[in-house]
Structure 1
Amino acid sequence: MNTLNFNHKLTAAFVFLLWIQVGQAQGQSRQSPFPENMIQNTIQNSTKNSRSNGLKKVGIGGQSIISLNGNWEFKQGNKRSDIAVPGEWAMQGFEVSAGEIVTYIKKINIPADWQGKRVKIRFDGLSSHAVLRINQQKIAEHEGSFVPFEADLSNQLKPGENILEVEVSALTISDILACTSQYAAHTVGGILRNVTLLALPEMNIADLRIETDFDPKYKNALLKINAKVVNEAAAPLDGIFSLRYTLADQKGKTVLQKKITLNALAPGKDLISKQEFKVLQPQHWNSDIPYLYRLHTELLQDGKTIQKNQQRVGFREIAIRGNELLVNGKAVKLRGVNRHSVHPLTGRSISKDLEYQDAKLFMEANCNFIRTSHYPPSEEFLEACDELGLFVENESSLTWINHHASPIWKTWDYKDEKFLSVMMNANLEKMQAAINHPSVIIWSLGNESNWSPLWQKVQDAVKVFDPSRPTAFHDQCWGGFNNLGSKADIANYHYPAANGPAATDTMSRPTLFGEYAHLSTYNRRELLTDPGVRTAYQLPLVSMYDSVYQHKGNLGAAIWSGIDDTFHLPDGRIVGYGPWGALDGWRRPKPEYWGMRKAYAPIQVKNPESPKIKNGNLILSIENRYDFISLNQVEIEALVDGKRVQVNGDLAPRSQGEIKIPVQKNTKEVYISFTAPRGFVLNEERILIEKNKFRIL
């Protein structure tokens, strides 16, 4: 299958990283159109002695991982205080000015059984520039926010207590190009996400790439696994090393187990083991039934496990055909919302429980798509989306480049090559961290920016890094001020008029309305005097999304926005861009949330105000907007004057038909609801009957 031609089927759900590095590889390597090491060097240009890594290591016996979350010492000038990690410093009462460097300090004791292992530290996200020191020796440096990076501490550690220092500054170049702090109306700085210490054997699995590739009938699949193994020992290691892969279904039953003997590996060298395994009739992963397998990967030395990793795997494949996006061979329609990582009291640093709650609340509002505006999400959020069946557009931390909203571009040249490494790094590190998640179906290069030759270079690198997913770029694909010829795979338009969906049918690419249906936010006086504005939001939204659904070229749309972006600073000020969410910051649904659920319901009752009564049945016209499941997989409950009646229905995905509900001549009320296979109510209607006239509540 041709992975580079988007007129043909793309191979696989989450393709392996194209390794453009010096080192040995098992099997033939793919050729890159870029100079040798270009991509890896681009990352390292702003991540000195650190590296991005998406591999989740699982310790043997639970002893190889230590969380460093909790209280740290915070040094600002001559003042020392305690600070919570993860967390924004501003949300904890610390004011740090531009150019100022503050230091996070943590005493760490290395367990005795870690002796002889490689000790790494992993930061899941930090804003925006960091210098790492251990025992006053500089270890690594990293520029960029909301992306994981790790560094090796081994050579500088000593027995007993060690002092870890992280020097952090905000408002650096990556913050400016992302408008991170400008957008949040306060300085977003600090260690925002988890910090972890981990110990690895000297021979270890450094990275893992997983790809699934279906046959033309989408019946059987290949599981492709690419493991990067490194020898970080100073001297040759004894023994025979091998990899063992075990794929298990949701009940824990082994579907596949294979053992691969590795070639000998000299100290300081690495290899890539590329394997393909046939899996017969795997369950598909999609937004309606997100079936996940679990892949256990073990590194063995003379048959004994010395490292293991576990990774959830979803069998799914993405393709673009004309102006449609296909998942597992079927065109999909995205019912979406934009989502910020935010809480009023903790800002851009939120808990694992809240990450899951957000995904669940949007699923229950009938969303099947999240755009992660305007930076990459956490690992925990992506895991929730994998589990709950939410498609994700993973966006890089780049926004408003040469946009009037960012005043810096009045003096800076947005085509200046000096910005390329930061733009490249923001994309590639994000991808490396998230590439194995089946929920991620689109890579967004950046938000509301002017296309330039720099973006074209980023686009080219992204397509080499992962040819299996399409790219998006949030400009205006027609008639907009920043419509400068984006070459992303998916066209974008923000805030289309009512005729916008029809215009997409003339596009050669799928067209996504990356932002639309903005909630009422800035008309504060009207909201205070007429709260019905919030309830009325449903009416035009239903009409607009009906049009989105009807037009083939319209991939879907994402409401602006999902959650209020407001920050309650400790000094009493409330800042942020606005209370524009269908959920408030405390995750309480607003009236617009229920309007979103109604508009996005995949089972629609088309005639609740004008049904027919014939031969003792109330006849409702039903539309099944699911992409993958039939109506007979949905639980239907019907009550006639409060008494349950039997109702059957079976409609294929993307089809229309009728449901008949037995009624009496004197029936006064009919209630019908539709419940998803995952147990939440999709849609419901209450119809009052008065003298053969109908009214809905």
Structure 2
Amino acid sequence: MYAYPIYPERNTQSLDGIWDFSFLGSDAPKLESVNPKGIACRELAAVPGCFDAAPKYAGRRGVGVYRRSVEAPAGVRLRLRIGALGLRGRILWDGREIGLNELPYSLQEYEFDSGSSSRHELVILIDNRLDFADTPLFHHFYDFYGYGGIYRSVELETLPEKARFGRVRVETLDLSGRVLVSGTLGGGFAEISAGFDGAAPKKVDAVFNGEEFSFEAKVPSPALWSPDSPNLHLITLKTGSDTVIERFGLRTIRCEKGELLLNGQPLRLRGYNRHDAHPQFGPAMPDELWIEDLQILRDLGCNFIRGCHYPQSQRFLDLCDQLGFLVWEESLGWGDSVEVQSDPKFRRLQVEQTVNMVKASINHPSVILWGFMNESGDDKEVGASLLRELAAAVRAVDRSRPVTSASMHIRTSIALDVFDVVSFNLYPGWYEGDNTADPRPLDRIAPTLDEVLARLNTKELRDKPLILSEIGAGAIYGWRDRVAGIWSEEYQADYLDAVCAYFRRKKRLTGLALWQFADGRTYAAGGVLGRPRAFNNKGTLDEYRRPKLAYDVVKKHFGGSGK
């Protein structure tokens, strides 16, 4: 299954499957110094896949070498597309470096000449060691495990010799079906033809500015996209040498008077924070698990997914488009300190990965919010300045969607003015520490949420929609206890019952993203004493998607139908 866009006239190979593999261990040199020529890859590894999720190298950090042979014509231009890898990668074609990937979880593409042979060797070196100098976008304290591997699909395209399309964007201008089509055309000027939904393409009067082009068009039989009616359209663009098919949805999303409006109608977002995570696969999720997760979310009555805390798979977003889920997509970042946010390389890569995410997901109607820097230092000027820089970078690419970032600083944030939508992560009644002798401090929930509503009752903020972007409590699957204290399934169920009831009463809240969908592996050192089993156990389901008691509680509040 290829994600959109599709280039039907190009020779496109899926390189997913079984690759040769070797693990060099934690003492391996930096990727730039590794010479794979003399390395014997006598083991096997799946792509997509994570070597440290497999039994032999579970939990190990170091360098993994993935190698396979590839058939491709001599003397042509190729594009290699890697859906995501982590935590750092170096890509070599016939021993020649064609790319260095420093953006974990991000879609990356590499263009290069095939060379003089028709049989080639592709090597991808992966480093999952936690070294800030090399991998500033992922740290040991992040509350989800940083796996080593090739997380998502790998594809190879043979590019046309003459005019060839890059990405094409389709932006809804109004709900009558008027759209603005824009993109890039490399390799020389050519006339462009366009057609919608299978109709024969006809010549369009595109305006060119160098390699960039744009034109307005009208979808002949427009059908709007919404969660209840997730209608999708196709546009086919052709030149004499290339064709591209993009899928899109006709819909608008905007903020007005404290509400989030989809096609002019107010939304209430009901859903979860969700990681791409499974004990056997890590973030290298098979299609079957994506489908299962979405079926479960639909059964719960959810219409909203916060894709935490990194760019989402294009294939997963395609499914959300088809099924009518609303998505908050965000770039990688989690609780980074002032020192980290002051680092020039960190800041540069934050901007690079965030812009990359926006460009990759621009045509997904399911994506209604752009986010970044979860729980950043938005109470300090260093953090606030980075948030401003990221918001400006996003808006320079796409002004059609609101921008947000999840803050945990109700009283002290100095960056709420940056965002179109205000979002807070809160855990009243959970992270109480030694401040209470109450084994069930559920009475902390409502007063804390009341404080949030009061915080937004100012001239500057009252017109901004408000999302509870994280709130939840942990439970160990199967531990049921008459005391119903912390870590029991009963306490989690009572906690989420109180949260969901509050959300239903308070219409000022635009959205609720419970933390979290399913338990997920996290760090195994440092703060692990607060993470039994080295998992974040706040899932309404455990890591194998077995429901806890809270499942039926949430389903009752969200109106799940089981369909």
TM range (shorter): 0.7 to 0.9
Alignment correspondent of 2:442: none
Tell me which amino acid in the other structure corresponds to 1:491.
Answer: V
2:121 is paired with a residue whose SS is: strand
Aligned length: 507
> 1:417, 1:568 → 2: CA distance?
26
| 8 Å contact from structure 1 (residues 374, 396) kept in 2 | yes
| 8 Å contact from structure 2 (residues 224, 231) kept in 1 | yes
The alpha carbon displacement at 1:486 in A equals 5.9
Q: Which residue, 191, 210, 219 being the options, matches 2:170?
A: 210
Tell me which amino acid in the other structure corresponds to 1:259.
Answer: K
Q: Deviations over 1:8-66 (max 9, x none)?
A: xxxxxxxxxxxxxxxxxxxxxxxxxxxxxxxxxxxxxxxxxxxxxx9623333xx7111
Identity of aligned residues (%): 25
C-alpha change, 1:161 and 1:288, in structure 2 (3 Å) is: same
| 8 Å contact from structure 1 (residues 518, 580) kept in 2 | yes
The alpha carbon displacement at 1:148 in A equals 0.7
The alpha carbon displacement at 1:525 in A equals 8.1
> 1:514, 1:532 → 2: CA distance?
22
Alignment correspondent of 1:401: 336
> 2:406, 2:275 → 1: CA distance?
16
Matches within 5 A, 1:252-651: 254=199, 258-260=202-204, 271-279=211-219, 282-297=222-237, 299-301=238-240, 306-402=241-337, 412=339, 414-451=341-378, 452=383, 453-476=385-408, 478-479=410-411, 487-495=418-426, 497-499=445-447, 500=449, 502-503=453-454, 506=457, 507-508=461-462, 509-521=464-476, 526=481, 534=489, 537-538=492-493, 541-566=496-521, 576-601=534-559
> 1:398, 1:271 → 2: CA distance?
33
> 1:435, 1:485 → 2: CA distance?
24
Alignment correspondent of 1:228: 184
> 2:523, 2:497 → 1: CA distance?
33
The alpha carbon displacement at 1:598 in A equals 0.8
Alignment correspondent of 1:90: 52
Q: Deviations over 1:445-481 (max 9, x none)?
A: 121110221222111111112111111111135226x
> 1:528, 1:308 → 2: CA distance?
64
> 1:390, 1:183 → 2: CA distance?
27
Alignment correspondent of 1:44: none
> 2:184, 2:207 → 1: CA distance?
12
C-alpha change, 1:86 and 1:186, in structure 2 (3 Å) is: same
The alpha carbon displacement at 1:134 in A equals 1.3
The alpha carbon displacement at 1:551 in A equals 3.3
C-alpha change, 1:157 and 1:280, in structure 2 (3 Å) is: closer
Q: Is 2:124 the counterpart of 1:193?
A: no
2:446 is paired with a residue whose SS is: coil
Moved more, 593-602 or 345-354: 593-602
> 2:523, 2:334 → 1: CA distance?
24
| 8 Å contact from structure 1 (residues 345, 567) kept in 2 | no
Moved more, 349-358 or 387-396: 349-358
Tell me which amino acid in the other structure corresponds to 1:71.
Answer: I
The alpha carbon displacement at 1:594 in A equals 1.9
> 2:340, 2:167 → 1: CA distance?
37
Tell me which amino acid in the other structure corresponds to 1:441.
Answer: I
Tell me which amino acid in the other structure corresponds to 2:306.
Answer: R
C-alpha change, 1:329 and 1:343, in structure 2 (3 Å) is: same
The alpha carbon displacement at 1:211 in A equals 0.3
> 1:532, 1:521 → 2: CA distance?
6
1:426 is paired with a residue whose SS is: helix
The alpha carbon displacement at 1:83 in A equals 1.4
C-alpha change, 1:291 and 1:518, in structure 2 (3 Å) is: farther
Matches within 5 A, 1:109-258: 109-110=71-72, 114=73, 117-154=76-113, 156-170=114-128, 171-173=130-132, 177-179=136-138, 182-183=141-142, 187-202=146-161, 203-214=163-174, 218=175, 220-231=176-187, 241-248=190-197, 254=199, 258=202
The alpha carbon displacement at 1:504 in A equals 6.5
| 8 Å contact from structure 1 (residues 177, 399) kept in 2 | no
| 8 Å contact from structure 2 (residues 76, 115) kept in 1 | no
The alpha carbon displacement at 1:601 in A equals 1.2
Normalization by structure 1: what TM-score?
0.66
| 8 Å contact from structure 2 (residues 522, 536) kept in 1 | no
C-alpha change, 1:115 and 1:330, in structure 2 (3 Å) is: same
The alpha carbon displacement at 1:166 in A equals 1.6
| 8 Å contact from structure 2 (residues 489, 549) kept in 1 | yes
The CA RMSD measured in Å over matched residues stands at 3.3
> 1:577, 1:432 → 2: CA distance?
33
> 2:504, 2:409 → 1: CA distance?
19
C-alpha change, 1:401 and 1:537, in structure 2 (3 Å) is: closer
> 1:358, 1:491 → 2: CA distance?
27
> 2:146, 2:213 → 1: CA distance?
44
Tell me which amino acid in the other structure corresponds to 1:368.
Answer: N
> 2:136, 2:305 → 1: CA distance?
23
The alpha carbon displacement at 1:483 in A equals 6.0
Q: Deviations over 1:343-400 (max 9, x none)?
A: 1211111102211221221122111110011112211211111111111000111111
Alignment correspondent of 1:9: none
The alpha carbon displacement at 1:313 in A equals 1.6
> 1:423, 1:382 → 2: CA distance?
22
| 8 Å contact from structure 2 (residues 207, 214) kept in 1 | no
1:479 is paired with a residue whose SS is: coil
The alpha carbon displacement at 1:117 in A equals 4.2
The alpha carbon displacement at 1:533 in A equals 5.4
Q: Which residue, 59, 63, 73 being the options, matches 2:8?
A: 59
Tell me which amino acid in the other structure corresponds to 1:290.
Answer: P
Alignment correspondent of 1:653: none
C-alpha change, 1:292 and 1:597, in structure 2 (3 Å) is: same
Tell me which amino acid in the other structure corresponds to 1:213.
Answer: L
Larger radius of gyration: 1
| 8 Å contact from structure 1 (residues 106, 164) kept in 2 | yes
Normalization by structure 2: what TM-score?
0.81
Q: Deviations over 1:119-160 (max 9, x none)?
A: 111100011222221111122222111111111232x42323
